[in-house]
């Protein structure tokens, strides 16, 4: 069987993927199709098109796709319905973007009749797993080329030397040293790793943060925000209905203004090592707090507790790259079913790094009954004498055990 000599490369136009593009052409003699995803990273992406053209890529083989709405609607929102947090803190901003990029790469491979896909993830990290599990789940016969696991260009200096040798355009920021961090950004977050942060005892410099002001420098005045939910998803802010991407963009602006969403974390990577990273997730931090608040009055107790029991496993599935697995899809069905009556509004107060819930209500689906919960006369709605038998029955096993120990 003759191998199809065409590959779809996840291409940013930066140093790494520009070198990979040339390396694929020279090492494999592949015809390269470039795919650049706009998922809200806030960068000018048309420069990627110009760079690809300089490498001789055919115009019809250059894909620059705006995936912002799909990203928030079909990936971020479903994840937040589960109140997903990895290892108690991380809101999975990088993790949740990878299955979408993998999905679109496979779609482009089918569209262009490419037999292979390629990415710029290193052999040390989680992203190689996330990308490739997605590729194989969506096309079990696809060939995957991961240059960082094959070549010897294992330092920035070697990449620069390769770029100079092959006349690969390099941005001035790379020539001058660029940022001291490895960064990843999308509409949900921006992450920082490497260099200074590789010492977990060292505090991150204030100049590193890009989306949020420090809590100390945040406004001295509180800001109130009304958030409306339908079936577990945010649909409006302060009474204005917005699209999913518009909602997250606005929440990022508000959270960043008030110093909300900074995280300094040492996490456990799937490949086995520990890694220190810093994250800014201002909008996601507000979303999580508000979602738990609306669930507090609309979800049955046992359903809520079941979700909390399952969430760590769901979070690990996403962190480790199993978005397209049958177990994640099955669990998502359960999660989405629990959200059918998660409707209503939440009011939060934003102040110096804090998201403070100050009110919540659901006109149609609240399970909060003030007539029963009141500390005043409930007019017989709740018979307090019933509690005695309830307590005795629940204490029975402990009473038996205690008697045995006498």
Catalytic site positions:
16, 98, 127, 182
Q: Say whether 196 sits in a helix, a strand or coil.
A: helix
DSSP 222-262: -EEEEEEEETTEEEEETTEE--HHHHHHHHHHHHHHTT--E
Q: How buried is residue 4: exposed, middle or buried, by Cβ count under 10 Å (0-12/13-18/19+)?
A: middle
Separation between Cα atoms, residue 62 and residue 48, nearest integer Å:
9
Residue 26 CA to its chain's centroid (Å): 35
Would you say 76 and 188 are in contact if contact means Cβ atoms under 8 Å apart?
yes
Would you say 103 and 133 are in contact if contact means Cβ atoms under 8 Å apart?
no
Separation between Cα atoms, residue 81 and residue 59, nearest integer Å:
40
Would you say 188 and 279 are in contact if contact means Cβ atoms under 8 Å apart?
no
- Non-local (6+) Cβ contacts of 292 within 8 A are 83
First to last CA, the chain: 79
Would you say 34 and 112 are in contact if contact means Cβ atoms under 8 Å apart?
no
């Amino acid at each position: 069987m003759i191998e199809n000599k065409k590959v779809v490369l996840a291409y940013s136009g930066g140093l790494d993927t520009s070198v990979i593009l040339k390396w694929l052409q020279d090492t494999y003699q592949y015809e390269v199709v470039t795919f650049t995803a706009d998922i809200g990273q806030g960068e000018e992406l048309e420069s990627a098109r110009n760079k690809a053209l300089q490498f001789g890529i055919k115009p019809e083989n250059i894909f620059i796709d705006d995936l912002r709405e799909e990203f928030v609607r079909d990936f971020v929102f479903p994840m937040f319905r589960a109140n997903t947090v990895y290892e108690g803190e991380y809101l999975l901003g990088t993790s949740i973007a990878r299955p979408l990029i993998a999905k679109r790469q496979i779609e482009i491979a089918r569209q262009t009749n490419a037999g292979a896909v390629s990415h710029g993830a290193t052999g040390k990290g989680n992203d190689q797993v996330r990308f490739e599990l997605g590729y194989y789940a969506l096309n079990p016969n696809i060939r995957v080329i991961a240059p960082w696991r094959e070549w010897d260009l294992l330092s920035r200096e070697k990449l620069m030397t390769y770029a100079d040798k092959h006349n690969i355009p390099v941005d001035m920021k790379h020539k001058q040293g660029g940022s001291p961090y490895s960064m990843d950004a999308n509409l949900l977050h921006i992450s920082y790793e490497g260099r200074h942060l590789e010492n977990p005892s060292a505090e991150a410099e204030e100049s590193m943060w890009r989306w949020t002001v420090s809590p100390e420098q945040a406004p001295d005045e509180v800001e109130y925000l009304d958030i409306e939910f339908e079936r577990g998803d945010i649909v409006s802010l302060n009474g204005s209905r917005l699209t999913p991407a518009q909602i997250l963009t606005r929440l990022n602006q508000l959270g960043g203004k008030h110093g909300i969403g900074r995280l300094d974390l040492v996490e456990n990577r799937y490949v086995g090592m520990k890694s220190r990273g810093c994250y800014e997730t201002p909008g996601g931090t507000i979303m999580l707090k508000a979602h738990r608040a609306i669930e507090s009055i609309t979800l049955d107790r046992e359903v809520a507790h079941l979700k909390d029991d399952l969430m760590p496993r769901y979070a690990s599935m996403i962190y480790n790259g199993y978005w397209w697995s049958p177990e994640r899809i099955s669990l998502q069905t359960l999660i989405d079913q629990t959200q059918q009556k998660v409707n209503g509004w939440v009011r939060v107060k934003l102040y110096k790094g804090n998201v403070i819930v100050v009110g919540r209500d659901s006109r149609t689906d609240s399970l909060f009954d003030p007539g029963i919960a009141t500390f005043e006369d409930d007019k017989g709605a709740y018979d307090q004498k019933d509690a005695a038998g309830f307590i005795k029955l629940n204490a029975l096993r402990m009473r038996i055990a205690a008697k045995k120990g006498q």
